[in-house]
Amino acid sequence: MSKLLIVESPTKAKTITKFLGREYKVISSFGHIRDLPKKSTAVDVKHGFAPTYEIPVDKKDKVKALKDAAKGVDDIYLATDEDREGEAIAWHIAEVLKLDPTTAKRITFHEITKSAIAEALDHTRRIDMRMVDAQQTRRILDRLVGYELSPLLWSKVQRGLSAGRVQSVAVRLVVERERERQAFKTDEYWSVEAILSKSNSEFPTKLVAIGDRKIDKLDIKTQAESDAVVSAVRDADFVVKSIEKKAASRKAPTPLTTSTMQQEAYNRLGMSAKQTMTLSQKLYETGRITYMRTDSTNLSEQFITATQAFIQAQWGNDLVTGGVRYQTNKKGAQEAHEAIRPTDVNATPESLRAELEPGMWKLYDLLWRRTVASQLPSAKLERTAIDFTANNHTFRGNGSIVVFEGFMKVWQASEDKILPTLSEGENIGKAASVTPEQHFTEPPARYSDASLIKVMEEYGIGRPSTYAPTLNTIETRGYVLRDDGKRLYPSDIAFVVTDLLKEHFPQIVDYDFTATMERKLDQIAEGEEKWKEVLGDFYGPFHEAIIGKGAELTRETVMKVTEIGIDPESGKMIVARTGRFGPFVQVGELSPDKNAEKPKRASLEKNQTIDTLTLDQALKLLSLPRTLGKHTNGDEIVANVGRFGPYLKCGAINITLPPEFHPATVSIEQAIMLCTDGVAKKIKAMTPLAELGIEPETKANIVIKDGRYGAYVTDGKTNATIPKGIDPKTVTLNDAIDLLVKKRKAPKSRWKRKSSGDDE
């Protein structure tokens, strides 16, 4: 008896094949095999929002392979992921293979292990059309919003822009945080720290009171006040005024969900949300962890039992809890019902270090430790606060010791300072040092991947499968940028589009509305809402607003002009606005006279925004392009800012200007040095290491060049890296042709499942 099992990922197929007998053939669909065509809305709003699906050109071969594999088999199992997206993929496969959704054999599993696959095959079910309806509703919603709202943005703001039901709300969060920062007024304050010591053990203390007056964080406003404190206590003895000890406990952390995994991976490992999801997908598909799209903190009884046995064997009875169970309060019908955990607790990170690639290992280590920690007892600490008095000034030292490690044995170590043993009334003498320190209040921090995902989850915006794609979308489409600390801040276009949507399409960027729509999608999946009714309630008012605002709005009312200041040379007003190619500054206004000289303009630099641009910065930009002089070889050197940032034009060659130099201030001497070095590097990069000859079939000239990632062969169109360990000097024409042929036949990109969170 022959059986066909269809999954959506080739890696998943490879892993499952290991667990099944010869009668099974496992094949991958490589994600979705049907989608809404890109050339039209493909949704018939007049006839119940009926979608029209097509097989994309790049999936036709995959569909043919599925059909061929399905011929003559006795049983077909649809084994795609267990969330809504996986359910929809299974339904599309059934439709293409002409399987009856009411009788097609659907199997799901939370982990890719032999026992889980066997259990799933013993308990097949039907395709859950409620989950399919929920996925279709999200897809249709995103298509209607994207295809009707985006063209309005093109005509009123800028070509190429997009809007989406989830992405636009995420952009609004980033914009509003930046405006909080811009409106923030910085205050100066001072603190005073005294380093005390006993028995060669030094510890820090901070000023907390002067006489009976408590000193709060912002109470000392000037250096004079802090200097007065230093003068008062510098030569005074410090006497123990009071000692307070408290027993405290720290609860074990919960197991990880999609959101908390992304947050912890960012905070502890510096991984972006996209990187975290890519690595966790690999760990899941290779059978190392359970399904990674979930908002549940539950753990299976079988895993809890195995973990308690592991803990007892590893560390003894003191750390055995009998099992800790967590209850998830959130309802997320599309998601799995267990937290992200290792499939086998005995597969410790140390045992897998040589097997897993570095990124996968780091994430597995984090997941393993967090899961095991959740099954360990609370940590017990003793917190100590000691107050010292010196010339009527009170300083406090805080510290703690870990009495019982508990979960800290695997998850984290206490970083609290340990204070020496002291008694009330004890005089420990003068301070080793008394130091005032100036501080300034800081605005709210820009969002990181972790903090933006956290606030999106708090608002109920999106679901586990949508966080990473949403962040990726708003960044790749130019709505958000990253500062030196890799935190997110909005581009000028983000301000313009957010203001437009808030004023004229408030539902699209309303936090409560977006969260309510997510709940409605959950209710569709649970059978509590009808998908066509949900779409109808949304689309009618939305479509009418698009028609009305399209006629009412003009580009002039949307694209506001900001006055920066007076140009000292011409006496005209310098204004800033956003144009077709981004934000720019301009001296004066454009004259209606076509023969009049056009006003001078200059693009803003990558890290500049209209809202924060100063007159001095604007004048620097308008001073460009700036002719510096001539190189020793006679070429003219010009400094300017272009599409890809600041650069030097050295004759006919452009050289990127390093960040430590600015085109408005770089000197001719510096420019000559940079041009000499940069031109030499470009000429070297352009000059082939070797010319191998003509490829007979394509008639192309094959050469070897030195690139950023090492030597490679090229025919002018296709580049193929020369493998490590092979000396470029030994590569022959036939070797090069083989490399190029292999590269041409290779897939253009790796398989990637399109998430339902990808807005149009």
Question: What's the mean per-residue pLDDT of the chain?
Answer: 91
Spell out the residues 6+ positions from residue 427 whose beta carbon is closer than 8 angstroms to its own. Answer: 237, 238, 239, 240
In a domain, 636, yes or no: no
Q: Which helix (H) or strand (E) holds 279?
A: helix 273-285
Cβ-in-10-Å burial (0-12, 13-18, 19+) of 186 comes to: exposed
- Chain segment 364-376, per-residue pLDDT in tens: 999 999 999 999 9
Q: Name the burial class of residue 598, with classes exposed (0-12), middle (13-18) and buried (19+) by CB atoms within 10 angstroms of its CB.
A: exposed
Residues 150, 163: one domain? yes
118 with 22, same domain: the answer is yes
Q: In this structure, are 280 and 352 located in the same domain? A: yes
Among 388, 419, 440, identify where a domain stops: 440
Both 164 and 192 in a single domain?
no
Residues 340 and 292 in one domain: yes
Longest dimension (CA), the chain: 95
pLDDT for position 333: 36
Q: Averaged over 510-534, what is the pLDDT? A: 93
Q: Which residues, including other chains, have CB under 8 Å from residue 740's CB and lie 6 or more apart? A: 695, 702, 713, 714, 715, 718, 720
User: Looking at the domain assignment, is residue 750 inside a domain?
Assistant: no
Q: Strands 43-44 and 50-51, how do they pair?
A: antiparallel
> Confidence class of residue 757 from pLDDT cuts 50, 70 and 90?
very low
Residue 466's closest CA among 102, 92, 80, 164? 164
- Residue 120 resides in a domain: yes
Task: Give the distance from CA 682 to its chain's centroid.
Answer: 34
Q: Do 357 and 402 have their domain in common?
A: no
544 with 468, same domain? yes
| pLDDT, position 18 | 93
341 DSSP assignment: -
Do the beta carbons of residue 376 and residue 409 sit within 8 Å? yes
Amino acid, res. 739: L
pLDDT digits (tens, 9 = 90+) for 540-559: 999 998 988 887 888 877 88
Q: Looking at the predicted structure, is the pLDDT value of residue 440 above 80?
A: yes
Beta bridge partners of 92: none
- For residue 336, the 8-state DSSP code is B
Q: How confident is the model at residue 760 (pLDDT cuts 50, 70, 90)?
A: low
| pLDDT value of residue 480 | 95
What domain count does the chain have?
6
CB 424 within 8 A of CB 242: yes
Instruction: Output the six-digit token pair for 602.
Output: 């200059």
pTM score above 0.85: no
Sheet of 105-106, strands arranged across: 24-28, 3-7, 75-78, 105-106
Read off the pLDDT band of 257 (50, 70, 90): very high
| pLDDT tens figures, 32-50 | 999 999 888 999 999 999 9
Same domain, 327 and 476: no
Classify residue 494: in a domain, yes or no. Answer: yes
Domain that holds residue 192: 188-251+380-440
511: annotated active-site residue: no
The catalytically annotated residue of 291, 364, 479, 539 is 291
Asked whether the predicted pLDDT for residue 338 surpasses 70, the reply is: yes
Residue 280, CA distances (Å) to 275, 277, 292, 686 in order: 9, 5, 6, 40
Sign of CA dihedral 68, 69, 72, 74: negative
pLDDT above 60 for 753: no
Q: Per the structure block, which two tokens stand in for 17?
A: 């094949």
The 10s digit of each residue's pLDDT in 441-497 is: 999 999 999 999 999 999 999 888 889 999 999 999 989 999 888 999 999 899 999
Strands 582-587 and 601-603: antiparallel
User: Is position 684 within any domain?
Assistant: no
pLDDT value for 105: 96
Specify whether 242 is located in the same domain as 385.
yes
User: Do 266 and 302 fall into the same domain?
Assistant: yes
* H or E element, residue 403: strand 393-404
CATH classification of the domain holding 504: 1.10.460.10
pLDDT > 90 fraction of the chain, expressed in percent and rounded: 73
